Amino acid sequence: MANIHRIGILTGGGDCPGLNAVIRAVTKYAIMDFGLEVVGIAEGFGGVVRNQWRLLNLEDVSGILPRGGTILGTSNRDNPFRYPVMIDGHETYEDRSSESIKNLEGMGLDALIVTGGDGSQSIALKLFSMGVPVVGIPKTIDNDLMATDITFGFDTALHTCTEAIDKLHTTAESHHRVMVVEVMGRNTGWIAIESGIAGGADIILIPEIPFTFDNVAKAVLRRRDSGKKFSLIVVAEGARLPGGDSISKKTGLGRNVLGGIGDVVSHELAALTGIDTRTIVLGHLQRGGTPSPFDRILATRFGAKAVEIIMDGDFGKMAALKTPNIVAISLEEAVKGQRRVPPDGELVRFAQAIGTSFGVTSN
C-alpha cells in the first residue's frame, strides 16, 4: 500500500448529475477507511492554476448524494496548458502547467483525482507525464469516453430528454405539427439515439449517420400519408448538414459552441413539406437535476475505486466500468479516441426495424 496521507479531487469540464456522489464517495472512503485528508479543489483546473482549495470533511459531504451539479464548482475552459488570459482587451493563452504543479505540491497532495470527460482526462495524462500522481474518473453526459462502458451523468440526461419527448407527443399530435428536439452530445449521438428510441421519436439525426433534408421530408410525408399528422424528430447538436458542416452559435462572450441544427432542420422541413414545424432546444436542462439511482451508484463505485487505485499506488489510471466490474485502465487508453454510435450497430438496426428514420434513403 502506497504511503498516502492527503489526496485532492477536482471536477472539470461541464457539470452533470452524479458529481457530488463522486465527491462524497471519495471523501467518506478516504477518511473513514484510510484516515486520509481530502482536499477539494475549486472550479476544476482553474482552482489548480489559481491555487483555490479547501479541506473536505464528512460534514461537507453529508446530504449531497441527491444534489445535481458539484459543490466544488467546475470549468470547461481553464486548461493549465492553455490557460485563457486577457491582454490589452484580447483573449490569449498561456502555459501555466509549471505553476499549477507547484500549486499542487503546495497543497501537500500525495495524489490527485481528476473527474471529467476526455478533455479533463487528457489534461490529467499530461500532468501525469510531468510527474503528478493522477487518477481519473470518467464523467460526461455525452457518454463518449473510450474504455468505459458508460459514464455517469449520461443516464440522468437520458431520462431528462426522454421525459421531454414524452411531453411533446401530445402537443405535436394536437396541433398536427413536426416537433424538432435538439439535444446535446457534442460530436456523438448517444443521447439522441437512446432518448429517441425511448421516447418513440419518428426520426433521429446523429453525427455518425449522414442525412439529407429530402429523405427526412419524405419520412415525414410518409407518416402524413399513412394518417399520422404529426412527427417527432430528435437531432443531436453535432449532427452534420448534408454538405458535412456542423452548426455552431456564439455565446454571450463570443465563443463558438455547437448548437442551432434544430432550427435549420425545422426551417428546411417546413419549406419542403408545408407542415408547421417547431424547435425545442433542451440545452443545459440535460446537465441539471437530481442524479438517477443508476448514476448515483455508478458515481459512488467510481469514487471508491479511485481511492483504491491511489492506495495501490497505481497512478496514471482511470476507473472504468467493464460490466459488471469497475477496473483500472490507463489514461492513454481512456483518451485514445472518441466512443461513437456504430452506424451499423444494433441500436441503429433495431430502431430502423421498428420504422425509425435516420434521414437516409433506406428508411
The rounded distance, in Å, linking the Cα atoms of 340 and 201 is 20
| Residues with catalytic function | 142
The one-letter amino acid code at 343 reads P
DSSP secondary structure letter of residue 199: H
The rounded distance, in Å, linking the Cα atoms of 70 and 67 is 8
Say how many Å lie between the first and final Cα of the chain, rounded: 57
- Please answer whether residues 336 and 348 qualify as being in contact, where contact means their C-beta atoms are separated by less than 8 angstroms: no
The rounded distance, in Å, linking the Cα atoms of 41 and 205 is 38
Q: Could you give phi then psi for residue 260, rounded to 5 degrees?
A: 110, -10
- Per the structure block, which three cell numbers stand in for 124? 490529467
* Residue 21: closest CA among 301, 304, 299: 299
The one-letter amino acid code at 294 reads F
The rounded distance, in Å, linking the Cα atoms of 125 and 329 is 12
The rounded distance, in Å, linking the Cα atoms of 196 and 236 is 10
Between the CA of residue 130 and those of 134, 207, 360, what are the distances in Å? Answer: 10, 35, 47
